[in-house]
Amino acid sequence: MTGSTRRATSRFFAAGLACALLAACNAPDTDPGAAADVAKAQGAIPAPDLVPRPRTLEAGQGHFTLSDATPMLASGEGAKAEAERFAAYMRDTLGIALAMGAGNEGKGAIRFVVDPGFKADSPEAYRLHVAPSGIDISAATPAGLSRGAATLWQLAANPGAEGRIPALSIDDAPRFAWRGFMLDSARHFQSLDEIKKLLDAMALQKMNTFHWHLTDDQGWRIEIKRYPKLTEVGACRLPAGDAGKDPATGEPRPYCGFYTQDQVREVVAYAAARHIMVVPELDIPGHATAAIAAYPELGTIDTPLVPSNEWGVFPNLFNTEEDTMVFLENVLSEMIGLFPGPYVHIGGDEAVKDQWEASARVQQHMREAGAKDEMAMQGLMVERLEKFLAAHDKRLIGWDEILEADLPDEATVMSWRGIDGGIEAARKGHDVVMAPVSDLYMDYLQTDSPDEPPGRPATIPLQQVYAFDPVPGALDETQRKHILGLQATMFTEHTRFDERLEHNVFPRLAAVAETGWTPAGEKDWADFRQRLPTLLHRYDLLGIRYAKTPFQVQAVAEDDRAAGKASIRLSNPLEYEVRYTTDGSEPGAASPVYDAPLDLQLPIELKAAAFFDGRPLATPQAFRFDADSLLSRTDEQLAVCPDAGRLLLRLEDDGPADGERAIFNVTIFYPCWQWNGADLDGIAALDVRLGRIPYYFQLAHDEPLRSFEPATGAHGELLVHAGGCEGERLAAVPLPAAPEADGFVDLKVELPAGTRGRQDLCIRATGDTRPTMWVLDRATLVPRAR
């Protein structure tokens, strides 16, 4: 069967006929909307929008109906465990209470079969056969049964199915052995319930590796009984600014959290039951501040340290002493006892060597060890830990910086600085996991919507995640075999809440899951986009708070004040159909479809939503445009100044201590905002609302790239230029020593008489204000009085 045929048959099923009974047979966009209603009315079964797409799928005749009376049959403990787990998912998400039956035969049953004779190229392969008389899931291993049960759950959770599963046969197996997700619990701490929720979502999308980032500069999160100070000291930090103060008393309020060894075992067991391998990470020699704060003798400087409340790249490294290596081996010994999987991650990234270069002890040790430079010394540490792990039947894996020194043949490389490290490693014979920051980092925002949470605004949209392929064309066939798979990465510097975590991860993790499982030739972005609405329905059943921003509408208005009109452009990040209204009603399937900018008289209230098959994908949004609103721009609506540097961040205020906080877009290397094409005709002044937040960044060797305009006054000035930052200076207004009690200050910038026309306004604050920084909240044009 050809790929195109498989794509077609995976979308159409009917009771008794594969396609003839479907009214929408000539329009293959089915989802939880109108098509499902038509299918229900005509007796058809909604198409199984499976994610990831299976390797092969054949449509059958008729359907099977699941109900509380459906027995499950399983032979052997492994099969029985998978059946019971499937029953739990069905009960918790769909309210169908399945129970174990007796025997191995019988019509109307779901049979879970571990078949030693099942031939497949992966232990996760499975076969799913659905007929009106019953359902069979078979595999060589319980892991395969688990993946088949995930597919069956998706079929049952298809909107409009009402327990009816279309007759079909699926033969399926993963493309890659490593289909991973990394969670950073060091920067922000997650509860066991949240981690289990993520593991459930991974399992139901057939992902199999959970990389757990447990140690970093900001926190040590795993109990090590031999070294109790790692959690007594290293698991707590004092957040910067108001966030670190008790709002009632003003006393310091630390941010703390760690996982006991029993809790780690609980997570590992929960993952193992879902056939997910847990890979712990102990980061060396850098990202070590929390550990050195607990045990100062592990470091290279005499200055006492505390777990950091800042983000970025730090100079603090473990030293190279024998006692420190013994410490690391002792820590690994306890971790090995907690994590039965074959891999242990030792980090190796962003280890700035300044302290080693300045340390006479380290330099002497390097000479004794025969290390030609500091990177070679790191390589010797990696080599020693690799031998230690190998002696305990473990494999070492590290970030791609470990390639910069001689690397043991058995070491595995995780390529994060793009794919070049992975290419180099594969050519040298090392196994590789592709996890490039450019495509698979979930802390990068997924749209440019102002509703995105804090993070890195250099966006990685869902389309880009889906398009990534972990096998570079530069590798030959032998080298490609070293690509184990791919991994999504979620660092949590800016992710205080579980809801934000889920927003960042979903639905992008589904794109990673499909790339890891589905044959490359079967991936199809257009088809994946049409399966997304059904996937969102399943996320709702699981209680996953996925990102709504990709499914919302964005509106941008260009004003024509002289005519009292505005040209309004609507868009959806995933290019779903946009419908709108201008009469105050909610947009529906009969509302106008947006296809060109709307030239509307002001004021205007507009409501819009993205639609798929006649149903909105998110709550319709209301936009109001009037003469006053078009004179104002928030920081999200302003552009980055062309010479403002490369590190744009979406940052959160430091207060209040609890709850939601203001969010600001700012380039921390050169804070500067630009209002491109501001219409200054008839404008007398510019009102600028500034906030001030802690400057909580360590830039290491990037520090020289940071710049600012020199201050001439005591506290600096607010500069406004026309024609860009190199153009005419319109004004310089003195800045106050501090903002008002609410954390903001409003400054009025009088513009010179005769200022007119459309200008690119450059707005900057002068001076180096660290340890705080000014951020722009809003800029507003003030018309001349009439």
Active site residues: 350
As a whole number of Å, the CA-based R_g of the chain is: 29
Distance CA 609, CA 94 (A): 28
Phi and psi (nearest 5°) for 69?
-85, -5
Q: Which two tokens stand for residue 624?
A: 């109001």
Instruction: Give the number of residues written for the chain.
Output: 786
Number of Cα atoms under 13 Å in the Cβ half of residue 658: 4
Amino acid letter at 686?
A: L
CB 600 within 8 A of CB 582: yes
Residue showing tokens 């899931």: 137
Integer Cα distance of 697 and 203 in angstroms: 36
Output the CA torsion 27→28→33→39 (10° steps). Answer: 80
**Cα end-to-end distance, the chain, whole Å:** 75
For 472, the token pair is: 């570079």
The neighbouring-strand residues paired with 758 are 679
Measured from the Cβ of residue 607, the count of other Cβ atoms closer than 10 Å reads 20
548, with CB counted inside 10 A (0-12, 13-18, 19+), is middle
Listed in sequence order, the DSSP H helices in 548-692 are none
Both structure tokens of 709: 């305009």
Q: Smallest Cα–Cα separation from 549: which of 452, 459, 456, 634?
A: 452
Alpha carbon distance 83, 70 (integer Å): 12
The letter for the amino acid at 426 is A
Other residues' Cβ atoms within 10 Å of the Cβ of residue 753: 8
Residues forming beta bridges with residue 11, ordered by sequence position: none
Cα 164 to Cα 14: distance, rounded to the nearest angstrom? 11
CA distance 457 to 438: 12
* Structural contact between residues 290 and 269, judged by C-beta atoms closer than 8 angstroms: no
